[in-house]
Amino acid sequence: MVKRTKESVLKFYDEYIGGASILELNSKYSTDVSYLFNKYNLPRRTTGKSRELRRFGDIKLSYNFESIESQNQAYICGILLADGYIGKTQIKLDLKKEDLELIQRIRDYFSPDIKITLYKNRTASFKVSSKTACNNARLLKLGVKKAVEQSNIPEMNQELLRHFVRGYFDGDGSIFKCYNKYLKSYICSPTENILLEIQKILEDNNIESSINLEVRNNHKSIIDGREVLSSINIYRLFIRKKESLKRFYNFLYDNSELYMMRKKKVFDDNFFMLNKLR
């Protein structure tokens, strides 16, 4: 076992005060950081406002979810509701490493000083620690993650709804090729009601869709090369018809600033399929 001097432990401690967790440091340095902090009488981070100041210094958030008044705010709310986490004091977004540029742009919307963490070279994430932002986000009905709870689209102007849908699609949607012959797209959710609301928005834009329930009983999925079993039923909103998919593409991306490049690329690379007769 490597003997750790106080000087080396202080380097761990600086990272800890800067926001790194005990688990992250244990993994990074292959040691028991908690034991070393106790050995050298190094105090743990406190909670509340003092912890926030020690972790983030004088970081001021540019956005704290007081309202949704721009396309970027609507998009961020959509992707957080689909794929993020809203706690009592912390907001977190975790995406694939390929989406690092998008993570950076969303992070910058809150503050470019917030740290981005790369986990095992697979995911990129950031955390916003703010009781005010979390309280406001819950008031906007964000962060509903349990299947038994109901989700609703937050209140915003009509022209911002498509940007919210794009964010939700980037979080919990997919565009893919079927048998290399045609494209198909879907948005999924453990609860049906938010998909019904999205379906109504799509209908208002002349985009046809259907909602199916996938009943899962130890359903097998492959995620990041690992087999995962799931028993939580999933609702999927499907867009299948080529004319609706063309309109959906324009609905998502016309004059849009934030979007997941890898999903748009699937559309772009295979758009010729939408011009073929079926």
Ordered by where they begin, the domains of the chain are 1-42 (no CATH), 71-139 (3.10.28.10), 158-275 (3.10.28.10)
- pLDDT, residue 210, reads 96
From residue 226, how far is each of 115, 148, 221, 222, 233 by CA, in Å? Answer: 28, 26, 8, 5, 20
Ranges 66-70, 136-140, 209-213: which has the least confidence? 136-140
By three-state DSSP, how is residue 192 classified?
coil
Q: What is the arithmetic mean of pLDDT over 15-32?
A: 74
Average pLDDT over residues 154-174: 95
Q: What whole-number distance in Å separates Cα of residue 275 and Cα of residue 63?
A: 41
Residue 231: pLDDT band (50, 70, 90) is low
Q: Identify the top-confidence range among 151-155, 170-174, 219-223.
A: 170-174
Residue 142: pLDDT above 80?
Answer: no
DSSP of 35-83, one letter per residue?
HHHHHTTPPPP--HHHHHHHHHTT---S--SS---SHHHHHHHHHHHHH
Please say if the pLDDT value at position 17 is more than 80. no
From residue 234, alpha-carbon distances to 101, 188, 220, 255 in Å are 29, 7, 13, 31
Of 10-24, 35-49, 260-274, the poorest mean pLDDT is in: 35-49
Residue 98: is its pLDDT beyond 90? yes
- Tell me, what's the pLDDT at 276? 61
Are 274 and 178 a contacting pair, CB within 8 Å? no
270-275 mean pLDDT = 80
Residue count of the chain, please give it: 278
Report the run of H or E that residue 132 belongs to, with start and end: helix 131-139
pLDDT at 219 (0 to 100):
59
Taking CA atoms, 206 is separated from 3, 169, 174, 253, 271, in Å, by 67, 18, 20, 16, 19
Residues 223 and 241 sit within 8 Å (Cβ to Cβ): no
> What is the per-residue pLDDT for 257?
94
How many whole angstroms separate alpha carbon 85 and alpha carbon 142?
Answer: 9
- What local confidence, expressed as pLDDT, does residue 87 receive? 84
Residue pointed to by tokens 């906007």: 140
SS3 143: coil
The mean per-residue pLDDT over the stretch 36-59 comes to: 59
The most confident of 28-42, 171-185, 216-230, by mean pLDDT: 171-185
Q: What whole-number distance in Å separates Cα of residue 135 and Cα of residue 138?
A: 5
The pLDDT assigned to 155 comes to 85
What is residue 46's predicted lDDT score, i.e. its pLDDT? 53
pLDDT at res. 10: 80
More confident call, 23 vs 256? 256
Whether 273 and 177 have beta carbons less than 8 Å apart is answered as yes
Rg (CA), the chain: 21
Rounded to an integer, the average pLDDT of 118-135 is 87
Token reading at 251:
């609905």
Distance CA 191, CA 146 (A): 9
Q: pTM of the entire structure?
A: 0.73
